[in-house]
C-alpha cells in the first residue's frame, strides 16, 4: 500500500522527459539500480527517504501513508505568492504547472472549475492584472505597517514566464468547463476601487488596469464564441445564476486525479482522495444546472454578459 501510494504520488510530479528511476536517484542521491530495486519493492523505502521525497516534491505524508480514519480526508496546503521571490516558492509553482502539463499528454484529461474570481489562466497575458492579484494577497497578509504602493509591488520576470507556462499547461487539458460567479467582475472592480480610494493605485495605473480589463473581455468573448481556447481545446464557459463562496476545481488525467479548494486569494488546499475528487466533480456538474452556458450556442446571454461587464469597467 505504501509503495503504491508513493509511486502514484511521485508519478504525478515527474517532469516531461524524465523517468521515475532517474528522479528518485537524484532526490535520494542513490544509484539508478538502487532506485529500481525500491520501485520494484525488492528494497523498502526508509521513512527518511519517504520524508525527503515528500519534502522535495511538496507531497503530503498523510496521502502517501494513507489516512488513518475513515471519516477524515487528507488535504495539503500550497501557499503561493508572487511577492515571495524565493527559489522554494518558484519551485512550488513549477510543481503545480507540472501536474497540469501531464494532463496535456492525456487525450481524456478533464478540468472543471467553479470560481468566484477571474481564473489565473485568463490573467497571465496581462501584467497589471497579474500584479493586482498578488498585490491583494500581500496587502491582506503583510499588515498595514508593511503596506506598499501598487507600483512598488515586485513581480520578477521569471514568475511572469511561469504564469505563461501555467496558462499553456491548463489550456492543454483536453476538455475544460469553467463556471463563473455572476459577480466575478464586480468583485475585482470593488478591489480596484478600494486601492484607488486609499491612494495605493495611481490614476495612470488605473487606466492601465482598465485597458487590460477591456482587452481581457475581448479575448474571453472570442474564446467563448468559439467554445475553444486559442490552443484549440474545448472550453465550456458558464455563468452561474447563483453566487458561491469559494473556488473549487478537479482535474482528471491518466496518472490520477486531484481536487482543489482556493483560500486566501492565491493559496490552495488540494487532495488526491478519490472520494473528495468525486464529490467536487459532482458538485461542479450539479452547478451547471443553475448556470447559463455562453460558449458557442449561447449568443444572446453571452452578448448581454459581456456588455454588462464593459459597462462596469467603463465606470471605474
Q: Give residue 135's pLDDT.
A: 87
Residue 1 pLDDT? 55
How far, in whole angstroms, is CA 96 from its chain's centroid? 7
Mean pLDDT along residues 211-225 = 96
Mean pLDDT of 41-57: 78
Looking at the whole model, is its pTM more than 0.85? no
Looking at the fold, whether 222 and 167 belong to one and the same domain comes out as: yes
pLDDT of residue 247: 87
Query: What mean pLDDT comes out for the span 135-157?
Result: 77
Residues 6+ apart with CB under 8 A from 294: 224, 237, 238, 239, 301, 302, 305
Backbone angles phi and psi of 44, in degrees to 5: -75, 145
In the chain, the number of structural domains is 2
Alpha-carbon Rg for the chain in angstroms: 21
We report the CATH number of the domain holding residue 90 as: 3.30.870
Whole-angstrom Cα distance, residue 59 to residue 44? 19
pLDDT in tens, 149-204: 999 887 777 777 777 888 888 898 999 999 999 999 999 999 999 999 999 999 99
Cα 211 from Cα 205, distance rounded (Å): 10
Both 85 and 52 in one domain: the answer is no
Q: Does 292 map to a domain?
A: yes
Is residue 297 over pLDDT 70? yes
Q: Give a yes or no: residue 106 inside a domain.
A: yes
Cβ atoms within 10 Å, residue 91: 12
User: Do 176 and 53 share a domain, yes or no?
Assistant: no
Which is nearest to 223 in space by CA: 302, 311, 160? 302
181, 246: one domain: yes
Q: Which of 65, 99, 116 is the last residue of a domain?
A: 65
pLDDT digits (tens, 9 = 90+) for 220-273: 999 999 999 988 999 999 999 988 878 899 998 876 788 888 876 666 777 877
**Domain membership flag for residue 233:** yes
pLDDT in tens, 87-117: 666 676 776 777 777 777 788 899 999 999 8
- pLDDT, residue 85, reads 59
> Which structural domain, as residue segments, surrounds residue 304?
76-314
Other C-beta atoms closer than 10 Å to the C-beta of 163 total 23
Phi, psi of 203, rounded to the nearest 5 degrees: -55, -40
Of all helices (H) and strands (E), which one includes residue 259?
strand 256-263
In this structure, the answer to whether residues 166 and 275 fall within a common structural domain is yes
**Same structural domain, 308 and 213:** yes
Q: Of 232, 255, 259, which is closest to residue 113 (Cα–Cα)?
A: 259
Per the domain annotation, does 150 fall within a domain?
yes
* Residue 70 lies inside a defined structural domain of this protein: no
| The pLDDT of residue 69 | 46
DSSP, res 84: -
Cβ atoms of 257 and 197 closer than 8 Å? no
Burial of 181 (0-12, 13-18, 19+ CB in 10 A): buried
Q: pLDDT value at position 284?
A: 94
pLDDT value at residue 61: 65
CATH number at residue 56: 1.10.260
Q: Is residue 71 part of a domain?
A: no
Q: Report residue 68's pLDDT band, with 50, 70 and 90 as the boundaries.
A: very low
8 and 86: one domain? no
From 65, 96, 111, the end of a domain falls on 65
Of 65, 96, 119, the one marking the end of a domain is: 65
The DSSP symbol for 228 reads: B
Task: Check whether residue 256 and residue 276 sit in a common domain.
Answer: yes
pLDDT at 219: 95
Question: Is residue 64 scored above 90 in pLDDT?
Answer: no
- Across all residues in the chain, what is the average pLDDT? 83
Residue holding cell 525527503? 52
- 30 lies in the same domain as 120: no
| Residues 159 and 226 reside in one and the same domain | yes
The phi and psi torsions of 39 (rounded to 5 degrees) equal -65, -40
pLDDT for 177 equals 95
For the chain, how are helix, strand and coil distributed in percent, rounded to 5?
Answer: 55, 15, 30
Q: Give yes or no: residues 95 and 122 share one domain.
A: yes
Report yes or no: 88 and 156 within 8 Å, Cβ to Cβ.
no
48 and 81 within one domain? no
Amino acid at each position: 500500500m505504501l509503495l503504491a501510494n508513493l509511486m502514484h504520488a511521485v508519478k504525478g510530479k515527474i517532469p516531461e522527459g524524465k523517468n521515475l528511476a532517474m528522479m528518485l536517484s537524484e532526490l535520494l542521491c542513490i544509484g539508478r539500480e538502487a532506485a529500481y530495486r525500491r520501485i520494484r519493492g525488492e528494497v523498502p523505502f526508509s521513512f527518511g527517504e519517504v520524508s525527503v521525497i515528500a519534502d522535495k516534491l511538496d507531497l503530503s505524508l498523510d496521502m502517501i501513508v494513507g489516512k488513518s480514519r475513515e471519516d477524515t480526508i487528507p488535504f495539503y496546503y500550497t501557499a503561493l505568492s508572487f511577492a515571495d521571490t524565493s527559489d522554494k516558492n518558484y519551485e512550488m509553482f513549477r510543481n503545480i504547472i507540472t501536474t497540469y502539463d501531464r494532463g496535456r499528454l492525456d487525450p481524456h484529461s478533464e478540468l472543471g472549475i467553479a470560481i468566484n474570481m477571474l481564473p489565473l489562466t485568463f490573467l497571465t497575458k496581462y501584467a497589471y492584472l497579474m500584479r493586482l492579484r498578488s498585490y491583494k494577497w500581500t496587502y491582506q497578509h503583510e499588515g498595514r505597517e508593511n503596506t506598499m504602493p501598487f507600483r512598488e509591488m515586485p513581480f520578477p520576470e521569471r514568475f511572469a514566464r511561469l504564469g505563461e507556462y501555467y496558462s499553456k499547461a491548463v489550456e492543454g487539458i483536453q476538455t475544460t468547463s469553467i463556471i463563473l460567479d455572476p459577480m466575478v467582475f464586480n468583485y475585482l472592480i470593488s478591489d480596484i476601487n478600494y486601492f484607488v480610494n486609499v491612494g495605493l493605485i495611481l490614476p495612470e495605473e488605473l487606466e492601465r488596469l482598465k485597458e487590460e480589463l477591456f482587452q481581457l473581455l475581448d479575448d474571453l468573448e472570442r474564446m467563448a464564441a468559439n467554445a475553444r481556447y486559442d490552443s484549440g481545446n474545448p472550453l465550456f464557459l458558464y455563468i452561474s445564476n447563483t453566487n458561491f463562496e469559494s473556488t473549487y476545481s478537479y482535474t482528471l488525467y491518466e496518472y490520477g486525479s486531484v481536487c482543489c479548494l482556493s483560500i486566501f486569494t492565491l493559496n490552495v488546499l488540494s487532495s488526491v482522495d478519490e472520494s473528495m475528487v468525486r464529490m467536487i466533480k459532482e458538485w461542479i456538474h450539479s452547478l451547471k444546472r443553475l448556470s447559463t452556458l455562453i460558449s458557442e450556442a449561447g449568443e444572446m446571454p453571452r452578448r448581454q454578459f459581456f456588455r454588462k461587464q464593459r459597462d462596469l469597467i467603463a465606470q471605474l
